[in-house]
Amino acid sequence: MTTLHTQALLLRASDFGESDRILQLLTPATGRISVIAKGARRSVKRFGGNLDLFNQLRVQIERRRPQTLARLELARLVGAFHGLRTHPQRFALACYLLEVLSRLAPEGGSRAESERLFRFAASALAWLDASEPTPATRPLLEFRTLDAVGLRPELGRCVRCGARLGQGDGPRVAFLIGDGGPRCARCRTPGEAGFSLQLGTLRALETSLDFELRQLDRIVLGQRATDEAQRLLQRFLRFHVGPELRSERFLARLGPRGSAAS
């Protein structure tokens, strides 16, 4: 039997059988891991009501035999992001982040990789918890999430020849979703389908990497750049994530500012 003590964020939870829950956790030790929480629905005492989304936990996980589902034995609350529950847009964005991670976070990556991703997820929740979401929050969050899981699109260079894009390639450039980046004017094939957007939008996204997560609220994106970045990253994420996420529909209903609920 192997026992693991580590921190964890809950990415997803579903009922199992009469009284159990199957949880997907993100930990700095293992990356994404599925565990069974025996009796989690029957006895509140066992996990103390700690198995809620957005809770940062200290857990004990046991695996009795290789290739079997690991068991959650203990879950203590380390921190909770209460601000996420008091604001619909923050809540929706945080659910979206967790759902994307539940699809894209690697299982059993290297320790360094898992630690980096866990730090990202905890910092991103902390940022959302304290932020006043604007229409730019979602694309900036999507971009950083792609970066954190190793799927960041290329923004500054032509994906075919590697040349740095410049004024001669703009003002509009073609971004090839399947290739993961833009093409310069020389490498563009007439009539080829691509996502057309302003060079400035790619530049703005690229610059956002210089900011720490908690500083992202300082970035001002114009309306057009926000719209383009949003559509580009949504398509790019969909390409990697697969079918539509539940939280995505929720976000769409809220509208970009979370005020247009209908």
Name the residues that contact Zn ion, by CB under 5 A.
Answer: 158, 160-161, 184, 187
Least distance in Å: CB of 194 to Zn ion? 13
Q: Following DSSP, what letter does each residue of the chain receive, concatenated?
A: -EEEEEEEEEEEEEEETTTEEEEEEEETTTEEEEEEETTTTT-HHHHTT---TTEEEEEEEEESSTTS-EEEEEEEEEEE-GGGGS-HHHHHHHHHHHHHHHHHSPBS--HHHHHHHHHHHHHHHHHHHH----TTHHHHHHHHHHHHTT-PPP-SB-TTT-PBP-GGG-SEEEEETTTTEEE-TTT--TT---EEEEHHHHHHHHHHTTS-GGGGGG----HHHHHHHHHHHHHHHHHHH-SPPHHHHHHHHH-TTS----
Closer by beta carbon to Zn ion, 74 or else 159 = 159
Q: 6 and 72 in contact (C-beta within 8 Å)?
A: no
Least distance in Å: CB of 154 to Zn ion? 11
Least distance in Å: CB of 171 to Zn ion? 17
Phi, psi torsion values for 65, nearest 5 degrees: -135, 150
Closer by beta carbon to Zn ion, 168 or else 243 = 168
What length does the chain have?
A: 262
Closer by beta carbon to Zn ion, 139 or else 182 = 182
Least distance in Å: CB of 180 to Zn ion? 14
Least distance in Å: CB of 245 to Zn ion? 33
Strand pairing report for 31-37 and 70-80: parallel
Least distance in Å: CB of 186 to Zn ion? 5
Closer by beta carbon to Zn ion, 10 or else 176 = 176
Least distance in Å: CB of 189 to Zn ion? 11
